[in-house]
Amino acid sequence: MEDAALVHACQTCDRDAQRELYERHVDCIYRLAFRITRNEQDAFDVTQQTFIRAFEHISSFDQRSTIRTWLYRIGTNEALQLVRRRGTERRHLSVLEHGLRDSAPASGTDHLDLEEAMLRLSDDHHAILMLRYKEGLDYQEIATVLEVNAGTVASRLNRARGDLRRLLAENSALSVEETTSKNHPTDTKDVSRQCKK
């Protein structure tokens, strides 16, 4: 069944159709939620809430965007609201945990460097980079998801990439310092990584 026909069936509260729509899109929504919240329990809650809201309000879905973009929009909103409600508390915690990690590579765009830098970005910048580079959305789709115009997407992405680049530079400067000063205790046993599996 096409997405459009599926949506139509969902509008009549057809449970099989709801399940099918869920199965088709749950992976994307969960991963997006996980990337924005950086936490499995939060990703679970956001995904659940996204689909509940979607099913409750599917009659207002007007096919102007694809159902995937619509779900992304609800999911991004739910996830961003949750991280904003939490404030910076969790972010600091995550940065701290990642900060305990041993043997940071001294240079290059290593994935761990990158993740650490991503954790320090603002929620908005983090989210827009996720939508672009992890979810592969184009500017128009991101504009729809974030409810801004395409020009704003371009400038926000520029700022987000700029921040990321700056943080990466700071990180690698820090790593060089760390490796040159031998007096740096690292405890690798107690590292609990909330944000990574």
Partner 1 sequence: MTCKDALEKIGPLLDSELDAPARAELEQHLASCTECDTACESLRGITSALSDGPDRVTVPRDEIWRKIEQHLDTDSPATVRPIGSRPVRLFSLRPLASAAVVLAAIGLGWLFVSAPWSSAAYAGQIDFRPLLEQADGDIKAGIDALIDVHGGRAITRPEAADLMRIRIDSPANLPPGLSLQSLYLLNLGGDHRALGFHYHGPQGHLLLLQCPPDVEQNLAGHECLPCRIGTNEGHVARIGSLRLAHFGSDNVCVCVVSTLDEMKELPAALNAVKIDF
Q: What residues line the site for partner 1 (CB under 8 A)?
A: 13, 15, 18-19, 22-23, 26-27, 30-31, 34, 40, 43-44, 47-48, 51-53, 55-60, 62, 64-65, 73-74, 77, 81, 84-85, 109, 111, 114-115, 129, 132-134, 136, 138-139, 147, 154, 157-158, 161, 164-165, 168, 196-197
Residue whose token pair is 């409750």: 56
From the CB of 126, what's the least distance to partner 1, in Å?
A: 11
112 CB contacts (<8 Å, ≥6 apart)? Answer: 98, 101, 104, 105
Look up residue 53 and give its amino acid. R
CA 134, 142, 25 angle in degrees (round to 5)?
Answer: 60
13 or 176: CB nearest partner 1? 13
48 or 175: CB nearest partner 1? 48
Instruction: Bin 108: left if φ > 0, else alpha if -120 < ψ < 50, else beta.
Output: left
8 or 31: CB nearest partner 1? 31
44 or 174: CB nearest partner 1? 44
From the CB of 177, what's the least distance to partner 1, in Å?
A: 21
Please give the Cα distance from 87 to 101 (Å, whole number): 24
23 or 187: CB nearest partner 1? 23
From the CB of 184, what's the least distance to partner 1, in Å?
A: 25
Helices assigned H by DSSP within 57-88? 67-86
Q: What is the DSSP letter of 148?
A: S
